Structure 1
Amino acid sequence: MEFRESFEQTYNEAFIIPFNSIDDKIAQHISAEEKTTLQQLKDQLNADSSESRLEAQKQLMEFKINICDKYNIGNIISRDTVDFTPRDGFGNLPIVAANMDGVTGKRMAEAMAMMGGSAALPQYMSDDDLCRIIEYMNTRHPLYRTPLTLKSDKKIYNFENIISKRDLPAVVIIDQDDQLVGILHKRDVQSVNKDTPVTKLMVTERLVTSKPDISAVDAINLMKKNKVKFLPILDESGHPFGVLTEKLAAMSLRYKPHQGHGKKGLAVLATVGALNRDPVEKAKMLINAGVTGIILDTAHFDQGIQSYRNLNKIANLVSNYENATDYKIPIIAGNVVTPEATVRIIGAGADIIKVGIGPGAMCSTRYETGVGRPQLAAVMKCVNAAEPYGKHIWADGGIKTPRDVALALAAGASQVMVGSWFAGTMESPGDLKYDFEGHKYKENFGMASRSASEKRSQRDTMREILGHRSEGSNRSFVYLDPDRPSVMDIIHYIIDGVTSSMTYVGAQNLSEFFRNANIGIQSQIGYEEGKPLDIVKIKRI
C-alpha cells in the first residue's frame, strides 16, 4: 500500500490570485539601456531606510509609467475583447456539453455549436439516431436557428407540446405545402382552451420576414424598425428556413459558430465505448456520417489493455481518413486522473485526454468506492503530463459555477465538459415538467447509474433480481433557472465570468490565462466568504 500525504484541491478549495503582467510586457519592449536603468531602480529598493525605499518605489513606478506611455503598452484589457478560443483549436468556445443521455441530443448539439462550443452525443444512442443527428447538424445554418413549425390544422395543445423544445418566443405556422401562413406567439396562448385551433390566435397580417442572406446586424435593425422580436427566414420557395430573435442575433455577434468539416453545417461529437469488443465499425460509421470528433469513453480508461487496443485501432483508422481528406477528426479518450495514464493514452493515439473520475453531480463513484481524485488536482497533474507532448486535457465533471470553469482553464484544461448544469435547460433531451408550484424542471441521471446500466447491459437473471450495479444518481430533478432557461444563456453567463477572470491576470487569450494564473489554496470558510449573500437574507425592510 502507498499512502500519499499531499493535499489535493477541488474547485471549492482553490482561487485565482490577481496578477499584473505589466512587468513582462515592459521587458518585451524596452531597449538595453532602459533595462539597465530599470535594474538600477530595482536595486535601490534594498536601501536601508524606509524613506529611501519609498522614494525608490516612487521613482520605479514613474519610470514604468513613462515606458508604458512611450511604447503604448499596458492598456486595460476588456472582457469583451479577450479571445476565448480553446488552446486545442477545436471550436471557438472552451465548453462541451457532456455525453450524457439527459444532457445531449439534437437540440443541445445545435445550440452548443452555434455558440462556438461542442456537444457529445452519448454512447448508447442507436446507430440510426446518431447518423440522423449528425446529418441534421451537417445541414444546419451557422447563424439562423432551426424554426419550430406547426401545421395550420393543429390545436393549442400541439403548440404547447413543441414550444418547450427550444428557447423561442413563437412558432411558425405553415400550410400543407409548408408555406408560411402565420406566427403564433407564446404570449398569445395564455389561459386559452387547449382545443382552440392555432389559426384563431396566430398573427397573419404585416408579417416581417427575410431572405436567407441577412446579417445579424441587419436582422436586429429590421426587427427594431418593425417593432418585432421574431424574424422568420424564408427560402426562395417561401418555406421557413430558419429564425432569428434579437437575442440570437446579438449572441452571434459575440460567439463565432463551431462549423463542421469544410465550414459546412455545425460541428458535433459522438461517443464510442472504449471497452466495446469492436469499436472500429462504429467509428467508421460515425466518420462516414460526417462526425467532427470522436470520444472513446469509459469510466476508468486505464484498466487492462483493451481500451488502449481499441484506441490504437481507431487512431489508425482516423489517420488514414485524414490523409485521404485533409479533414482533422480529433480523438478524445478517457476518463483518467493520473499522469501515468495520461501518457499511456497519448502513446496509444489520443489527441485529447478526458480527465475526471467521480466529481460529477450525478456520480457517486467516489462516495461509494473511495476511488477517484479531487478534480482540480487531477486536471493540473494530467495537464503537466500532456504538455511535453503537445496534447491537451478536457476537464470532465464537477462544474457548478463560472468560477469552476475559470479554475479548470487556468489550471491548463483546454476545454471543460458540463453535464448536470446543462440538463436543466430548454435544449436538453428530456420533456419539460412542472412541480406542484409550477416550477419547470427536467429529469436527469448519471451514466453509471442503474438506469444507464440497464440500457447498456445484456439480459442477466441475477441482475434482474438483485438490481444492476450503480455508481450514480438513478433519477434527479434539475430545475430550469428562470433567468437562464436556455443553454445559450448559461454559456453567456459562464463566459462573462471566465473573460473577467482572464482580465484579472492580464490575459488576452487562454494560453496567457494558463501562463499567468496563480492558483492558491483556501479553506471551506474562504470559499464561503467568496459567495454572495443569499438574496432571501437581504430582503428590503
Structure 2
Amino acid sequence: MKPDDITLNTKFVEFVPKQISLATRFSRNVTLKVPLVSAAMDTVTEARMAIAMARWGGMGIIHRNLTPHKQAEEVDRVKNACKFGLIEQPICVFEDETVESIDRRREEKQYHFHSFLVIERLIGRLVGVFTGQDRRFCKSLAVQVREVMTRNPVTGIFGDTTVVQAFEKMREKKIKVLPLISTLGTVRGLWTLADVERMLAQSVPDNFGSDGRYQVAAAIGLLGVDKDTEERVALLVDKHVDVLKIDMAHAGTAAAVETVKWIKCIYPVDVVPGNVSEESATRHLLEAGADGIMVGQSPGSVCKSKQVKGTGLALATAVYKCAQITEKCDVPLGADGGLWHPGDIVKVLAIGASFAVCGRRFAGTEESPGDVIEDEETGLRKKLYRGMGSLGAMRDRMNMGSRERYLQNDMEELVAEGFETEVPYVGPAEKITKTLAGGIRKGMFEIGAYDIPSLRIEADFYEEQ
C-alpha cells in the first residue's frame, strides 16, 4: 500500500495550528525540530544542503559518492557553519595576500560569506577585517589585503563575550561580524549578526545538537565489504558527525548487522542502518544496537529496483510493518522514497514513521550539488537529479559509493537500478522546507494531533476507492 492509497479523516479540534509541535527524533540521541531529512544522494545533499536543512529544523545526510576525506570535509563545513552563532574556527586570510587570491579561494571553496578576518603571518594576531564593502570599492585585484582592509576592528574577548553582549556591541557599532580574540590578540572565534539575531529572536527552528552545532548525518558502507569503511568512519567521527547512516539498497544482511556492532563497540555515535522494508531485518539490526532504522526499498521516483529485481514493498506497508518492531524498542524510523506532497508525509508519520527522507523535492533547489541548466529553447531552468543506482552515479571511477551501495563492483557488468532526469530549478531549499512543514502542520491540525506521537493515536485511516 502506498500513501496515495489511503487518506485520513478529519476531527473536531480545540487548538490552533501554531500550537502544534513538529519535533521528533532522527535516532536514539539525535533530535529534529521538523520531520524532514534530505537524502544521501550526490545530486541532493552535500554541505550547503545540510546547512540549509539544519537552519530550518531538519537535517541532511551527506552522500558517500565522495572520497572519505572529501566527505569528512563536507561534514566539517556543516559543523562549523554555526555554533549557537559562534564560529570557533573562522576563515582567516593573511595581510600580505592579494585580493585576487582571496577571490579565487572564495570561488574554489564555495564560501557563501563575504567578510574575512585578516591576521599577521608570523603569530596570527588580528590586524583587520576584509569586508564585502572593502572588496566592492577595491580598485585593483593585485593589491594586498592590508591596503584595503578595515583596520582596528571592534572585537570581543573569547570566553568573556556573551551572545547578548555581542549583539549589543554589533548594534552599537553597526557591524555585521564581531571577532573574538585571546589576550595575545590571536583569533579564537567569530560572532555574526545574522546568527546572533537568530539565536536571540528564536524566529527560526535551527536544529542544533548537544554540542551547540548544526546536526548532520553521513552515509557509509559496510565493514569488510567496502574497502574504505574503517577510514571513512574514523574521519567522520573525528569531524563530530552526529549520525552514521549505513547506506545500502538492502540493509537486511549479516554484513550490515556486523557493521552496526563494530561501530557501536568502538565509537560514541548513533548508527542508523538502511534501507529495509520488513520485520526480520529490522529486528536483527535493532538487536545489533542500531539507534534508528531507515525504511524504503524501491519507492523512490528515480529508483527502478522493483522492475530490475522484483523486490521491494510499497512504502506505507513497509513503514507499518517495521514500526511494529521499532516502537517496542523506542527507536525512530525514517520513511524514505517517493514522498513529494506534505500530505504523503502526514500519512507515513501517522502510520509510524518519525521523519521523512526526501530526494527529488530538494534536488531542484539552489543548495543541491550541480549547476543550474538553462534550456536554450524554452528558457526553463533545471538541475540534474539521479538515483544512486543510475549508471551515471555508478560509473564514477573516482568514487565507488554508488557501486558499493548496490554491491556492484564490475564496471563492465553494471546493472542500473535507477535513472537520471532533470527537475525544475525552484530556488532556495528554505521555500520547500516551509511548504512541507506548513502542510504537515495543517494536516495534523485537521486530524486533531498536537504533536507527532499524538498523530499516531488520533489518525483514522480509510482506503481510497
What amino acid is the match of 1:376? A
Q: Which of the residues 330, 347, 362 maps onto 1:407?
A: 347
Determine the structure 1 residue equivalent to 2:36. 95
Q: Which runs of 5+ in 1 are unaligned?
A: 1-7, 22-73, 190-194, 524-541
Verify the 8 A CA contact 2:177 2:193 in the aligned structure 1.
yes
In structure 2, the residue matched to 1:110 is 51
1:17 aligns to what? Answer: 9
Matches within 5 A, 1:168-207: 171-172=114-115, 181=129, 183-184=131-132
**What's the TM-score once normalised by structure 1's chain length?**
0.65
Report the Cα distance in structure 1 between the residues aligned to 2:384 and 2:244, rounded to whole angstroms.
26
**Candidates 287, 294, 297, aligned match of 1:357:** 297
Q: Which digits, 9 at most, give the CA deviation of each residue in 1:262-315, with x for residues without a partner? A: x2433322222247526762475143443322212211223xxxx32x333333
Counterpart CA distance in 2 for 1:497 and 1:250 is 27
In 2: Cα distance, 1:129 partner to 1:520 partner? 47
**Equivalent residue runs for 1:437-448 within 5 Å:** 440-448=381-389
Q: 1:38 is matched with which residue?
A: none
Q: Which has the higher helix share?
A: 1
The answer for the alignment partner of 1:333 in structure 2 is 273
Q: Which of 435-444 and 176-185 deviates more?
A: 176-185
Q: Deviations over 1:434-468 (max 9, x none)?
A: 443665443232110112222325874744xxxx3
Match of residue 501, structure 1, among 443, 456, 465: 443
1:470 to 407, 416, 421: 416
Residue identity over aligned pairs, in percent, reads: 23
Say whether 1:273 aligns with 2:273. Answer: no
Matched letter for residue 20 of structure 1: F
Q: CA-to-partner distance for each residue in 1:362-399, whole Å, 9 max, x for gaps? A: 21223444432222222122212332333332101112
Q: Are the structure 2 counterparts of residues 152 and 116 from structure 1 closer, same or farther at C-alpha, using a change threshold of 3 Å?
A: farther
Q: Deviations over 1:514-534 (max 9, x none)?
A: 2112233325xxxxxxxxxxx
Output the CA distance in 1 between the equivalents of 2:298 and 2:411: 29
CA spacing shift, 1:298–1:319, aligned 2, 3 Å: closer
Deviation of 1:472 after TM superposition, in Å, equals 1.1
Structure-2 separation of matches of 1:410 and 1:217: 44
**Higher RCO (CA 8 Å, separation ≥ 6 residues):** 2
Matched residue pairs, number?
432
Contact residue 217 and residue 245 of structure 2 kept, 8 A: yes
Q: TM-score, normalised by structure 2?
A: 0.75
Q: Is the 8 A contact 1:143 1:252 kept in 2?
A: no
- Indicate conservation of the 8 Å contact 2:166/2:191, yes or no: no
* 1:295 aligned to which of 245, 256, 269: 245
Q: 2:25 aligns to what SS in structure 1? A: coil
Check 1:341–1:157 CA distance in 2 against 1; reply closer, same or farther (3 A cut). same
How far, CA to CA, are the matches of 2:258 and 2:102 in structure 1?
52
* Alignment match of 1:154 (pick from 93, 97, 100): 100
Q: CA deviation at 1:414?
A: 1.0
| 1:86 aligned to which of 15, 20, 25 | 25
Q: Residues 155 and 127 (structure 1 numbering): CA distance in 2 closer, same or farther, change over 3 Å?
A: closer
CA 369–16 in structure 1, closer or farther in 2 if over 3 Å, else same:
same
3-state SS in 1 of match to 2:73: helix
CA drift at 1:504 = 2.0
Q: Is the 8 A contact 2:271 2:290 kept in 1?
A: yes
> Deviation of residue 158 (structure 1)?
5.9
Partner Cα separation in structure 2 for residue 163 and residue 132 of structure 1: 11
In 2: Cα distance, 1:395 partner to 1:132 partner: 27
- Going from structure 1 to structure 2, the CA distance change for 1:362 and 1:216 (only over 3 Å counts) comes to farther
Contact 2:156 2:166 in 1 (8 A): no
Change (3 A) 1:275 1:448: farther
Contact 1:112-1:119 within 8 A present in 2 as well: yes
What amino acid is the match of 1:516? Answer: E
- SS of 1:235's equivalent? strand
Partner AA of 2:388 in structure 1:
M
Matches of 1:522 and 1:378, distance apart in 2: 18
| SS of residue paired to 1:442 | strand
- Whether the 8 Å contact between 1:97 and 1:104 is mirrored in structure 2 is yes
Please tell me the residue identity of whatever aligns with 2:115: V
Equivalence for 1:520? 462
